[in-house]
Amino acid sequence: QVQLVESGGGLVQAGGSLRLSCVPSGRILSINRMGWYRQAPGKQLELVAGITSGSMTNYADSVKGRFTISRSNAGNTVYLQMNSLKPEETGVYYCNADITLSWGRMSDSWGQGIQVTVSA
């Protein structure tokens, strides 16, 4: 029912920047938390950055100071600004949303994933 549409990935050289976008659609009462996860080759899925409905954020230690997660004031779009990218940050990035569909009804939604490739 809820769709998360991701965009902004692609190929970038080491030291470059990308901005990922995640646009939710469907009938949503509220979004409690959104985040970006990364699946790197040979690695488990890990949280890169998250943001709550109160705009509190958290980041993986490896990206602090370089990545910024933000949320649009109008609508539920979430962005991940990635600066000074490193080759080891290559992977598939997934948008995730913990949402309230209606009063007392919760759901955990995932995007299809978007490829980010950082070349050396």
Determine the average pLDDT of the residues in 10-31.
Answer: 95
Give the residue among 93, 89, 91, 61 at the shortest CA–CA distance from 80: 93
Contact 47, 60 (CB under 8 A): yes
CA dist., res. 53 & res. 118, Å (int): 31
Handedness of CA 45, 84, 5, 54 (dihedral sign): positive
Q: Strand 10-13 to strand 114-119: parallel, antiparallel, or no bridges (unpaired)?
A: parallel
pLDDT given for residue 75 in this prediction: 72
Q: Among 11-15, 60-64, 98-102, which stretch is predicted with the lowest mean pLDDT?
A: 98-102
Give the residue among 29, 41, 39, 34 at the shortest CA–CA distance from 95: 34
Q: Report pLDDT digits (tens) over 75-88.
A: 789 999 999 999 99
Q: Across the strands, what pairs with 36?
A: 49, 95
Alpha carbon of 88 to those of 6, 52, 116: distances in Å? 21, 27, 11
